[in-house]
């Protein structure tokens, strides 16, 4: 006999089953609540709502734990690569050498965009945000493969997954080149995933970009650290769209749109803009912290706070160290890093932040690494999207493989006018 929670409404008692996850996390199963009681639950922002059971990523926000398929993020950051981690997320286990080779070959074979897709880039204004281009072109790419439209057809999943991972990077680099009026650079077969992205971003037709191993490694680490984060806003969006049996590319395009928001993936761009503003104003960060605490101006310390983490985001710790290491190797002194460190130091001692349990999140230091690499600020959220793509694919596959997957369709509590009659236009005041 399992465990139950007792709910008493209108003098009647209902027994609601308690579900337990593999890490001991418990939830009240309310799937029969409405049919049994006529009631629904109300949880705006879903902070207390589990939308699914998932075996991909585990987070303990109180203890600052993040694991992909059971493996701590710290171990993956130290020992794995983005592509190996992508395989782990999507297929549920670390690949053997043969599996990894096959996966890499599939990525290489699928990295080119159909030629006609290229014309999509011509239609955008030169100042278009690359996230708009990314979302539009990912969606447009699905027209080129009719087999994508068949949700039930699992036989082509591996190719579609590889195509999306590879093409997201190609589209991202093309969108940057287009925005700068630069000629498009095609991927090279001999380059690995992250090196190829840097090549497509920065090479010229007459001169290849010089690939520094430390730079390639730092960017690969950023991709890896962003690869999944369970039911965050963009992944929940991907799952929402996929639940209607939309194709993988359409679902991922929707994820890109959600990620673009400044409270989500757009925060990495917002952090650098905030640090620039502080630097330009001659503040060392203290005035800014005071302004954030003054609720009348609705400012936030970007890159701080998290819905799930109520302690230091484990990814932020890894990124902060990588940031220090890379800047030292490249011999770069970035005054924005000094400001970021000062902000962190001040905030972590300040009652406002302590009370609300606000700590640096993944976005706080990642922008400084990207700046050092030469990635322009408007591409920061695109980098996040490239990193998050394997996570979105893993969630899509999890839904596809689950015969019990239903369309996501929340309910609501209606608070609008009660029944009223239509008023003819001449009688309206
Ligand atoms: N700066 C100042 N105050 C903050 C911050 C912040 N960064 N974050 C939260 N707070 C305050 C809120 O004003 C609120 O205070 P109150 O209780 O006095 O009203 C309290 O902390 C709780 O904040 P909520 O917005 O209710 O927390 P929620 O869980 O909904 O939001 C979020 C989480 C969106 C990440 C928030 O912390 C935030 O806006 N951070 C800045 C943006 C950011 O860095 N986003 C990236 C998140 S990580 C990611 O998506 C990859």
206-243: per-residue pLDDT in tens? Answer: 999 999 999 999 999 999 999 999 999 999 999 999 99
Return the best residue to mutate from 305, 311, 360, 383 for the ligand 1 pocket (most ligand atoms within 8 A of CB): 305
Residue 306 alpha carbon to ligand 1 centre in Å: 6
Q: Is 306 a catalytic residue?
A: yes
Q: What is the mean pLDDT of the chain?
A: 94
SS3 state at 18: strand
What pLDDT, in 10s, does the model give residues 102-141? 999 999 999 888 888 888 888 888 888 999 999 999 999 8
- How much is the pLDDT for 273? 93
| Tens-digit pLDDT profile for residues 327-353 | 999 999 999 999 999 999 999 999 999
Ligand 1 near 263 CB (within 6 A): yes
Given 199, 229, 306, 395, which residue is catalytic? 306
DSSP character string of 347-365: HHH-HHHHHHT--B-THHH
CA distances from 99 to 8, 84, 102, 169, 389 (A): 53, 10, 5, 22, 20
Q: Active-site residue 93, yes or no? A: no
344 C-beta closer than 6 A to ligand 1: no
Ligand 1 atom showing the smallest separation from residue 364 Cα? 44
Distance of CA 300 from the midpoint of ligand 1 (Å): 7
Q: What is the pLDDT of residue 52?
A: 96
Q: Is 226 in the pocket of ligand 1 (CB under 6 A)?
A: no
Q: Which residues of the chain have pLDDT under 70?
A: 1
């Amino acid at each position: 006999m399992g465990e139950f929670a007792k709910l008493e409404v209108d003098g009647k008692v209902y027994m609601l089953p308690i579900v337990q996850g593999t890490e001991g996390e418990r939830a009240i199963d309310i799937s029969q609540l409405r049919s049994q009681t006529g009631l629904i639950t109300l949880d705006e922002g879903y902070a207390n709502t589990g939308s699914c059971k998932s075996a991909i990523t585990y987070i303990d926000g109180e203890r600052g734990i993040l694991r992909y398929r059971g493996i701590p993020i710290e171990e993956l950051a130290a020992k794995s690569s983005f592509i190996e981690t992508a395989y782990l997320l999507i297929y549920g286990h670390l690949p053997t050498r043969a599996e990894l080779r096959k996966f890499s070959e599939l990525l290489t074979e699928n990295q080119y965009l159909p030629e006609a897709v290229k014309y999509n880039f011509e239609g955008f204004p030169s100042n278009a945000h690359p996230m708009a281009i990314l979302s539009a072109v990912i969606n447009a790419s699905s027209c080129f493969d009719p087999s994508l439209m068949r949700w039930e057809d699992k036989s082509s999943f591996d190719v579609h997954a590889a195509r999306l991972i590879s093409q997201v990077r190609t589209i991202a680099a093309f969108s940057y080149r287009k925005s700068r009026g630069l000629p498009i650079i095609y991927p090279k077969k001999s380059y690995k995933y992250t090196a190829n992205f840097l090549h497509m971003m920065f090479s010229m037709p007459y001169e290849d970009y010089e690939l520094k191993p430390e730079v390639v490694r730092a960017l690969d680490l950023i991709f890896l650290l962003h690869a999944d984060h369970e039911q965050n806003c963009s992944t929940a969006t991907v799952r929402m769209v996929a639940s209607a049996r939309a194709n993988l590319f359409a679902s991922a395009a929707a994820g890109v749109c959600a990620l673009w928001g400044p409270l989500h993936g757009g925060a990495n761009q917002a952090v650098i803009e905030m640090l620039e503003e502080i630097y330009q104003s001659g503040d060392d960060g203290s005035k800014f912290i005071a302004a954030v605490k003054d609720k009348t101006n609705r400012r936030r310390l970007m890159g701080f706070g998290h819905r799930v983490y109520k302690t230091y985001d484990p990814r932020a710790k890894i990124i902060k160290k990588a940031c220090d290491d890379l800047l030292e190797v490249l011999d770069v002194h970035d005054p924005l890093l000094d400001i970021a460190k000062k902000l962190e130091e001040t905030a972590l001692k300040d009652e406002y932040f302590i009370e609300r349990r606000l700590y640096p999140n993944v976005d706080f230091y990642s922008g400084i690494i990207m700046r050092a690499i030469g990635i322009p600020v408007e591409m920061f959220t695109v980098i996040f999207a490239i990193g998050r793509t394997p996570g979105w694919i893993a969630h899509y596959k999890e839904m596809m493989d689950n015969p019990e997957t239903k369309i996501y369709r929340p309910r609501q509590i209606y608070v609008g006018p009660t029944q009223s009659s239509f008023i003819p236009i001449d009688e309206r005041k």
